[in-house]
Amino acid sequence: MHSSPLYSDDTHPMISFIVPVYNRPQEVKELLESFLSQETTPLDYEVVVVEDGSSLPCREMCESYADKLPVRYLCQSNTGPSGARNYGAKAAQGDIFLFLDSDVELPASYLSSLVHNLKQRPVDLFGGPDAAKEDYTVTQRAISYAMTSFFTTGGIRGGRKDQPLDKFYPRTYNMGVTRTAYEAVNGFRQDLRYGEDIDFSLRVIEAGYHSALYHDLFVYHKRRDTYEKFFAQVRHSGRARITLGKLHPGSTKPVHYLPSLFVVGNFICFLFLAQGGLLLPLIYALLILFDVYGRGDSLELAVNCVAAAYIQLFGYGIGFIEAMIGRGEESE
């Protein structure tokens, strides 16, 4: 297995934050502001913003931060997020690439947490979980719950405290990788529109590099603002899982089948409605209601979390089934 010493008292590698953006100048502004709000800046870093053929460019906004942050603005014709990440990595100067989505913000402790984790547990591939801010909309907070809760995803995105630390597959909303490991696998595949970050993580690990989950290296992730958009997103994710299973045999685990079983199970319950078929779906809804409301959140948020959980499981499950029977698209 490969292992690279990333950070120590004597070694201070440079970090390149790489942010692909498409028509989201306001979100990039919020992300850059979060860099300025860091408690400490204990490392050498740069922020590389890659404009991916946007019709709403963020050049002027990025340039307005040039005297406050080490930010660089790059522009290319539209190739999709993977192409933008690869373009940014080619221009980046760092020893470690840290990929962020444009719709995230860093908590004030992010940079100090990054240095602490790199010193304590140096690996070539790492990532952290995502969370929702209190001022996000109810819909966005409900979607965040659906994407991170044990009752929906099983916590496989980093939400589980007992998750094996060396079996984590980072996502590009918050993913770090050494230049060495990135170049060893030739970056991101550009023929995958969905699931490209999981494919990248799998290829890095299959190449013999170590990965790690840094529990406290979280980002605030601004989710889709409508349930319709959220359904489309998770449906694509379900389809992509079948593609990933073909590209990486053995990577599809029992947890990935659960949403499709949830869809089938609810359909069977509906068929036996007169015989009390609603009991199991009702119990599941109540579990989520009590989980959210019991933590002191509002009843409105709890109800929305139930809706978001069903959308997440049905969307992913339907996409998974479609791809499994040959109706899904491997790349778009």
What confidence tens digit (pLDDT) does each residue in 26-83 have? 999 999 999 999 998 888 999 999 999 999 999 999 999 999 999 999 999 999 999 9
Torsion of CA 189, 181, 183, 58, to 10 degrees: 70
SS3 call for 83? helix
CB 139 within 8 A of CB 229: no
Q: What is the pTM of this model?
A: 0.90
What type of residue sits at position 19?
V
Give the pLDDT confidence of 119-170 residue by residue, as tens digits: 999 999 999 999 999 999 999 999 999 998 888 876 655 455 555 544 689 9
Neighbouring C-beta atoms of residue 160, cutoff 10 Å: 16
Q: What number is the average pLDDT over the span 195-221?
A: 95
Domain ranges of the chain: 15-128+168-225, 236-324
Give the pLDDT confidence of 307-330 residue by residue, as tens digits: 999 999 999 999 999 999 885 454
Q: What number is the average pLDDT over the span 228-256?
A: 94
Report the first-to-last Cα separation within the chain, whole angstroms: 34
Q: How is the chain split among helix, strand and coil, in percent rounded to 5?
A: 45, 15, 40
> Could you give the residue ranges of the DSSP H alpha helices within 49-187?
59-63, 81-91, 110-120, 138-148, 179-184
Proportion of the chain above pLDDT 90, given as a percent: 77
The superfamily (CATH) of domain 15-128+168-225 is: Spore Coat Polysaccharide Biosynthesis Protein SpsA; Chain A (3.90.550.10)
Proportion of the chain above pLDDT 70, given as a percent: 89
